[in-house]
A = this chain, B = another copy of it.
Amino acid sequence: MDETVLLGHGSGGTMMKRIIDEVFFEAYADKELLEGNDAARLPQEPGRVAFSTDSFVVTPHFFPGGDIGRLAVCGTVNDVATSGAIPKYLSCGFILEEGFPMEDLKRICQTMAEVAREAGVHIVTGDTKVVNRGHGDGVFINTSGVGFIPEGIDLSGAYCKPGDKILVTGTLGDHGITIMACREDLSFNADVATDAAPLNHLIQEVIAAAPDTRCFRDPTRGGLASTLNELADQSGVDFVVEEDAIPVKDAVRGACEMLGYDVYQVANEGKMVCVVPADQAEAALAAMKSNVYGKDAAIIGEVLVSPEGRDPRVSLKTGFGTMRIMDMLVGEQLPRIC
């Protein structure tokens, strides 16, 4: 096998066949993928189809707790799962830069295969393109996901109602601060690592425990603040969250203070925001806490009526008891975080 990626690996000819056989099939050889046709043919399933896509351009490609491959599988699995669907199939499109080390590519594919197994999804179709040196950045990955929504499940960011409780499944800001620390070569006393994780099983467990769950949304780019603003906007309601209730690791909070980042705008890759009716909030919280990825889950606030005549609003009740507006991220805080 060649030591680096060459233009010919994206040619459609025998070199491409070799990279497919020796790298991609070697890592994640699913039956449908191996059939060798242009489209994977998948069994008929009951339920509505959920479909989502995400491209990953994070830099660096490897960081504490994961790599671009872990993000690529978790990101799309989680996006599909937020609809209440059981994610089943992933596609995987690589855009490689000429000269990218083949060993790195193999390592990334290995990670993808491991996370896919954990999530219970199959990588069934793929594509490889190679761009000339200097016209890409090592590796970009697109994953798209297909899942099926079980009968009776209907979640949407538009369903939040006044009185509902707002939960998060764990500590915020870990992923963004990890990437930033890698880039700036900062080190922490405490271990900070990406939180990237497949949350599809956790979501199904919460729905089983709290059947009237309104919605899940993963606070990735733009962080908690942007996600809450999106949901408030979609549902036409106000949100209020309490600073003291929002779980943030000390090391992450310290890094944010030192560097001037708003932790609520920092990206997460293994967390969910979840809105449930008040009488099911404790059940939802217990379900989260019993999952390995939800042990730091918390109820962080509630949904309020949005007064007529102004836009829906997200407010933060600070530790000092004052209120401030929690705004959506405007520009860019940490580019290429995922």
Contacts and interface: CB of A to CB of B under 8 A. Distances in A.
A333 interface: yes
Q: How many copies of the shown chain assemble into the complex?
A: 2
Contacts of A134: 134
Interface in A311-338: 328-333, 335-336
A125 B16 CA distance: 29
A56 B265 CA distance: 32
Contact of A11 (B57, B137, B158, B333): B333
A267 B11 CA distance: 10
A24 interface: no
A70 interface: no
B156 A329 contact: no
Contacts of A11: 221-222, 329, 331-333, 335
A95 B127 contact: no
Interface string A4-24: 001110111111110000000
Interface of A is mostly: mixed
Interface stretch (A142-150, A177-185, A205-213, A295-303): A142-150
A261 interface: no
Contacts of A47: 44
A93 B54 contact: yes
Nearest to A46: B44
A58 to B, nearest CB: 9
Given A10-B221, A329-B12, A336-B131, A51 B57 contact: no
Interface of A: 6-8, 10-17, 35-57, 59, 78-80, 82-83, 85, 89, 91-95, 124-127, 129-132, 134-137, 140, 142, 144-147, 149, 156-158, 215, 217-218, 220-223, 226, 230, 234, 265, 267, 328-333, 335-336
